[in-house]
Amino acid sequence: MTTVGSIYQIVDAIAPFSLAMGFDNPGLIIGNGADEVSDVLLCLDVTPAVIEEAVKTGAQLILSHHPLMFSPIKHVVEGEGEGSLIRSLIKNDISLIAVHTNYDTVKDGLNWQLAHQMGVSDLTPLEGDGIRDVLIRAHGVAPLWFSAYAPKDVYLEGDVTCAVLPGLSGKRAAQELKQKAIRHSVLALNSEGAFGYGLIGNIAPIKASELAKTTKKLLNATCVKYTGEGEKTIRRLAIACGSGKSVFDAAIRMGADGVITGEVSYDTALMYTHKGLSIFEAGHFDTEKWFMASMAQRLQIEFGKLQCNVRVHISNMSKDVYSGAV
């Protein structure tokens, strides 16, 4: 029997919830881990149309990218926004699991997929608030000292966890932590498997105007806006699906000529353009919509390994909140 809880564990193995940003609200949001599941519906956002679709397909579980109750909610009242959605899920006995910034952060998640599709090579996770938050959330302690690039240890206080980056063996790290009353464990990371929100790498030189066209075609986006001169040559490109402002400073420090993201405010675009960063705004939905197909494929592989008889459905009703453009 496959349950909500067992699917949660499968998803956690694909994109550990401990890697989510501190502000996020992923995981099992509504439901019962013991409930049996025969059908799962994947969507980007939970909407009335998606819930109705789940009912029609017989799905006992919705797996969304964006969480419900992202901010604290004080009332669950019919006809009042999220309250209606929560009531509808509960009335129809549908559980909800959200897989948000943990899937943005993990290797082979959304940012990695877009980067590969764009032909970006030599990928490196961007520094920024994200990777420090990851260590705090994963291990429950804050770093005394941290650098995303140093080929040394990352020392954490409390029950010490040492994240070993290239250049230092796990054995040596453990030896250095052998002190009385100190418990230690080692999480070995390599450059390819490193995590962090956003990516940066190299691409074949291309004009900004042409990169915008390429991005629009690849994403089948409604439009792609870009800042700066269209004739500017882009050689080093950052990727930050969704709302990527938090890694723009890191992108500049790491030599980015431009960044592809989903959305950005006018003031932010103006400020970072003045700093020399070309911003390619491709739409929040369009940079993240392939979450559904991507996660469906990952789940089907894992279900096959475990011989889980669970049908995976990709929502036909998960659509961009912007219904048109003129």
**What CATH code is carried by the domain that includes residue 113?**
3.40.1390.30
Interatomic CA distance for residues 160 and 157, integer angstroms: 5
Please list, in sequence order, all residues whose beta carbon lies within 8 angstroms of the beta carbon of residue 63, skipping any fewer than 6 positions away.
7, 11, 40, 41, 42, 43, 97, 98, 99, 295, 299
E-state strands within 94-213: 95-98, 121-125, 161-164, 185-188, 199-207
pTM value? 0.80
Cβ atoms of 61 and 130 closer than 8 Å: no
* Domain contains 63: yes
Cβ atoms of 273 and 279 closer than 8 Å: yes
CA 104 → CA 128, 194, 277, 313, distances in Å? Answer: 14, 13, 22, 21
Structure tokens at 80: 């009042």
Interatomic CA distance for residues 190 and 179, integer angstroms: 26
Cβ atoms of 90 and 30 closer than 8 Å: yes
Check whether residue 29 and residue 148 sit in a common domain: no
Domain carrying residue 90: 4-99+290-314
* Domain contains 323: no
* Domain contains 142: yes
Check whether residue 121 and residue 254 sit in a common domain: yes
Q: What does the pLDDT look like over 143-164, one tens digit per residue?
A: 443 333 333 343 333 444 444 4
Check whether residue 154 and residue 209 sit in a common domain: no
Which domain-ending residue is among 169, 188, 207? 188
Check whether residue 305 and residue 233 sit in a common domain: no
* Domain contains 234: yes
| Domain total of the chain | 3
Check whether residue 267 and residue 304 sit in a common domain: no
* Domain contains 320: no
pLDDT tens, position by position, for the chain (326 residues)?
899 999 999 999 999 998 888 788 999 999 999 999 999 999 999 999 999 999 999 999 999 999 998 888 888 888 888 999 999 999 999 999 999 999 998 888 999 999 999 999 999 998 544 455 555 555 555 444 333 333 334 333 344 444 444 444 455 545 554 544 444 444 444 444 456 789 999 999 999 999 999 999 999 999 999 999 999 999 999 999 999 999 999 999 999 999 999 999 999 999 999 999 999 999 999 999 999 999 999 999 999 999 999 999 999 999 999 988 77
Please list, in sequence order, all residues whose beta carbon lies within 8 angstroms of the beta carbon of residue 261, skipping any fewer than 6 positions away.
239, 240, 241, 242, 243, 244, 245, 279, 280, 281, 282, 287
What is the DSSP pairing of strand 39-43 with strand 27-30? unpaired
Tell whether the torsion through CA atoms of 291, 24, 236 and 211 is positive or negative.
Answer: positive
Interatomic CA distance for residues 124 and 192, integer angstroms: 8
* DSSP codes, 220-261: T-S--EE-S-TTPEEEEEEEEEEE-GGGHHHHHHTT-SEEEE
* Domain contains 18: yes
* Domain contains 319: no
Check whether residue 51 and residue 94 sit in a common domain: yes
Q: What does the pLDDT look like over 292-316, one tens digit per residue?
A: 999 999 999 999 999 999 999 999 9
Check whether residue 121 and residue 259 sit in a common domain: yes
Interatomic CA distance for residues 168 and 165, integer angstroms: 6
Check whether residue 112 and residue 212 sit in a common domain: yes
Check whether residue 138 and residue 92 sit in a common domain: no
* Domain contains 57: yes
Which domain-ending residue is among 163, 188, 213? 188
Check whether residue 213 and residue 94 sit in a common domain: no
